[in-house]
Amino acid sequence: MENAGGFKDSRNALISDSAAYPPLIDLVDKNSSTTIHPIFEYLYGSDNIDGNIQRWGIGTQVNYRSKRIDAGFTFLYNKGEYMNYRKNFIQSREVIPGFGSYSGNQFFESRYWDGFLAYKPADFFEAEVGYGRKFIGHGHRSLLMSDFASPYPYLKLQTSFWKLTYTNLFASQSNTFGTIGNSSLQSQKFTASHYLELQLFNKLRIGVFETVVWQADEGTFFRGFDPNYLNPVIFYRPVEFSVGSSDNVLIGMNLSYEPNQNHQFYFQFMLDEFLLSEMRADVNQELNSEEDIRSGWWGNKYGIQIGWKGNSFFGIENLSARLEYNLCRPYTYAHSNPTQAYTHNSLPLAHPLGANFQEGIIQLSYQKKKWKLNAQYNNSLQGLSFGSLNFGENPEISNTTRSKEYENFIGQGIAQRNQYVETYLSRRMKMLWGAELSLGYVWRQSNSEDLTSVNNMIYFGVRTNLFRQTFDF
């Protein structure tokens, strides 16, 4: 198992294995290469609530690579139906995860595109502009930065020397929460992030992350992109104080350890806000449960991820597995100003559930030549708000509307337990550019108080892309 870096690019988001998915056109000379991949998919399924559903899409991906320049462009047109719970989620947010906006009520029609242009003037430095998404971490989820939301414009600067890799990411996102039916209320925001990673002994990687979110329009004046955050080597909190603005600053850590080629352990810690005295109160309450200590301060906002993934599981060649646990305290990623929440187009920039949750994930995958068998089980508990009470699961709701100052805990509010199962068998076809023919089953059960809902679907499909649309929650 290769202990790759924690910062993942959005490049080749649709085609993840060029050997498995050969290009339609491949132009190569001694100085450069150009490839064109076709993209298509068709899915037919039977949903226990909505009956038969269909979805299809077509597109292309073009890549150019030379010694100093790397560029790519992807376009995908997609139209179709989704499982009932997925359809409800899309309609409530007016956005398709990973894709963006859509049109239609039953058949959702969307057009996805991303692209980038990278220039490498020296072996240790690369500059990239693009419209896409990024991911930080080694897990199935990320608490620092994920590809769950739709693409956005960005500038990335990456410097590598010795065993260090330093990445700066400047991006523009949008706040669309609460603007359904009135796009004029949407507001622009910016993020500036940096991620420093150190590799030790080829087995251990230690990454430090920081990001700041600010709104473009302050109301009395248009702030736009703040040049104070262009300084690539200082922490953002002192800059925030120096410009006299209460921006949303988050810090985090990303670790991975690989004892051998078959095992990798990983860990993330994300810190939004805390007071040491309040954290001590939480610890004292846990250690002295019989006492009534004032604890559970709303501002202790953090998230934790711990996981393991391995190959040759149980000594079986080509059998891989993953175990992962995530948790996030109430009101994490939120801000007093909803525009400065760590979100984009009504979706989190980190974990799909937002905040106020804990989640366990089990994944198994077995591959033999052209055949692949995948299975996944998720179990999550999340507290939901009700009425006018804000219990902290939605980062886009101002944390000034919090329901209480103390005695906050994960799962507060209406406790909702979700279980998700998906398994599919696929075969890669030699014809049609390595298209995958798949047969699968999805089951999801949601329990909250006296309400239980079950949604399941069996499906058949063929596709050339491995585009990651995240609905496993």
Query: CATH no. for residue 339?
Result: 2.40.160.10
Residues near 435 by beta carbon (within 8 Å), at least 6 away in sequence: 40, 428, 429, 462, 463, 464
pLDDT of amino acid 226: 82
The domain tally of the chain equals: 1
Position 472 in a domain: no
Structure-block tokens of residue 313: 């599981």
Q: Give ∠ CA 385-389-394 in degrees, rounded to 5.
A: 40
pLDDT of amino acid 216: 83
Report in angstroms the alpha-carbon separations of 265 from 196, 397, 440, 463. 19, 34, 29, 32
**Can you tell me whether residue 195 is helix, strand or coil?**
strand
pLDDT of amino acid 439: 98
Task: Name the pTM for this structure.
Answer: 0.92
pLDDT of amino acid 12: 44
**Residue 67 CA to chain centroid, in angstroms?**
31
Position 469 in a domain: no
Position 422 in a domain: yes
pLDDT of amino acid 222: 80
Average pLDDT per consecutive 10 residues, the chain (473 residues; last block may be shorter): 63 48 82 91 96 94 94 94 95 90 90 95 95 95 95 96 94 79 72 94 93 84 81 62 67 95 95 87 86 90 97 88 98 93 95 98 94 97 94 94 94 97 92 86 94 96 76 91
Position 348 in a domain: yes
The Cα 162–Cα 282 span in angstroms is 41
Segments forming the whole domain that contains residue 445: 7-463
pLDDT of amino acid 14: 44
Report in angstroms the alpha-carbon separations of 243 from 168, 187, 211, 223. 20, 21, 16, 11
Per-residue pLDDT tens over the stretch 80-125: 999 999 999 999 988 999 888 899 888 999 999 999 999 999 999 9
Position 388 in a domain: yes
Structure-block tokens of residue 147: 């590809």
Position 175 in a domain: yes
Per-residue pLDDT tens over the stretch 148-170: 999 999 999 999 999 999 999 99
Secondary structure string (H, E, C) spanning the chain: CCCCCCEECCCCCCCCCCCCCCCCEEEECCCEEEEEEEEEEEEEEEECCCEEEEEEEEEEEEEEEECCEEEEEEEEEEEECCCHHHHHHHHHHCCECCCECCECCCCEEEEEEEEEEEEEEECCEEEEEEEECCEECCCCCCCCECCCCCCEEEEEEEEEECCEEEEEEEEEEEECCCCCCCHHHCEEEEEEEEEEEEEECCCEEEEEEEEEEEECECCCCECCCCHHHHCCCCCHHHHHHHCCCCCEEEEEEEEEEEEECCEEEEEEEEEEECCHHHHHHHHHHHHCCCCCCCCCCCCCEEEEEEEEEECCHHHCCCEEEEEEEEEECCCCCCCCCHHHCCEECCEECCCCCCCCEEEEEEEEEEEECCEEEEEEEEEEEEEECECCEECCCCCCCCHHHECCCCCCCCCCCEEEEEEEEEEEEEEECCCHHHCEEEEEEEEEEEEECCEEEEEEEEEEEEECCCCCCCCCC
Position 471 in a domain: no
The Cα 456–Cα 142 span in angstroms is 26
Position 426 in a domain: yes
The Cα 455–Cα 471 span in angstroms is 13
pLDDT of amino acid 434: 76
